[in-house]
Amino acid sequence: MQNAYSEVIELPEGCICCSLHAEFEKALDEIRQKYNPEVLLVETSGAAEPFPIIISLQALGCSVDGVICIIDSANFDKYKNDTTAKYQIGNSNILVLNKIDLLNPEDLERVEKEVKETWQIYNPVNTFTGERFYNNFVLYKTTYGKLPKDVFSGAYTIKDLKGIAESHEHEHTQNQKVITFLEPLDFKEFDEKIKNLPKEVIRVKGIVRFKNVPVPLLVNYAFGNLDLSQEIPDYNGPSFLVLISTSQPVS
């Protein structure tokens, strides 16, 4: 890899979700300092649990656009009782049933049902509020792991978002709608509207001012999960949201 990419940051042997937690954050911070990437793709081993990694990314100021769990449908029965596998399903909001061509319709329906039940049980819960970490998830059925492009659509950088806010062409595609706000929003009302979005809305991005919050916040909603952890103190434009849907125009 060093021959191909010249610079490689090596982590010692271990798991980034537990024993290498601090090293993982250090490596990510180094990558951001040196290269300032627009997108980070973290691919873990089959033995990792996603939730601690999500927390590490958020602690570094990253917006997590989605957590994808690839499920081997053909061999699901062989590992479905493994605790790590259950947490991988519950800690993800994009579930992919792969190798569906190797199952008959009855077995595929059964696997899908068991996966959904596992997600409900192992979806992380806030100990203090009792709220689930994810409000929803999307499930795709694939062969060879081929996902539709809408899984990755709308993964805008902050620079991209600011450009959208400054543009007068708000209808960029038929699956995208931009809404602007003149006044700061009430957080409870905003949270309620996000929780009741139509199912076809898979992403919401934007920069919003909230009442009693001194600086604008980056809104990052992806597949049922809302993240408002990043402040945008240098933003002077209007509050706005970009709604991205799967296949039908957002109404």
CATH of the domain at 11: 3.40.50.300
Which of the listed ranges 101-115, 135-149, 164-178, 232-246 does the model predict with the highest average pLDDT?
101-115
Q: What is the pLDDT of residue 244?
A: 86
What pTM does this model have? 0.78
Q: What is the pLDDT of residue 92?
A: 93
In this prediction, residue 98 has a pLDDT band, given cuts at 50, 70 and 90, of very high
Q: What is the pLDDT of residue 12?
A: 61
Return the CATH number at 188: 3.30.1220.10
**Strands 225-227, 138-141: parallel, antiparallel or unpaired by DSSP?**
unpaired
The residue among 134 and 113 whose pLDDT is bigger is: 113
Whether 182 and 121 share a structural domain: no
- Across 16-30, 111-125, 143-157, least confident range: 16-30
Among 147, 166, 196, the domain-final residue is: 147
- Across 9-18, 66-75, 215-224, least confident range: 9-18
- Rounded CA gap, 139 and 246, in Å? 12
Asked if 225 contacts 64 with a C-beta cutoff of 8 angstroms, the reply is yes
Domain ranges, residue 92: 2-147
Whether 171 and 200 share a structural domain: yes
SS (H, E, C) the chain: CHHHHCCCCCCCCCCCCCCCHHHHHHHHHHHHHHHCCCCCCCCCCCCCCHHHHHHHHHHCCCCCCCCEEEEEHHHHHHHCCCHHHHHHHHCCCEEEEECHHHCCHHHHHHHHHHHHHHHHHHCCECCCCCCECCCCCEEEECCCCCCCHHHCCCCCCHHHHHHHHHCCCCCCCCCEEEEEECCCECHHHHHHHHHCCCCCEEEEEEEECECCCCCCEEEEEECCEEECCCECCCCCCCEEEEEEECCCCCC
The residue among 151 and 81 whose pLDDT is bigger is: 81
Among 147, 182, 200, the domain-final residue is: 147
Residue range 175-199: mean pLDDT, rounded: 88
Q: What is the pLDDT of residue 43?
A: 85
Residue range 37-54: mean pLDDT, rounded: 84
Q: Is pLDDT of 250 > 50?
A: no
Q: Which residues pair with 97 in a beta bridge?
A: 71, 141
In this prediction, residue 172 has a pLDDT band, given cuts at 50, 70 and 90, of low
Asked if 124 contacts 133 with a C-beta cutoff of 8 angstroms, the reply is yes
Whether 85 and 192 share a structural domain: no
Q: What is the pLDDT of residue 62?
A: 81
Q: Is pLDDT of 249 > 50?
A: no
User: How does the average pLDDT of the chain come out, rounded?
Assistant: 84
**Strands 94-98, 68-72: parallel, antiparallel or unpaired by DSSP?**
parallel
Residue 251 falls inside a structural domain: no
Which amino acid, 154? G
Residue 232 falls inside a structural domain: yes
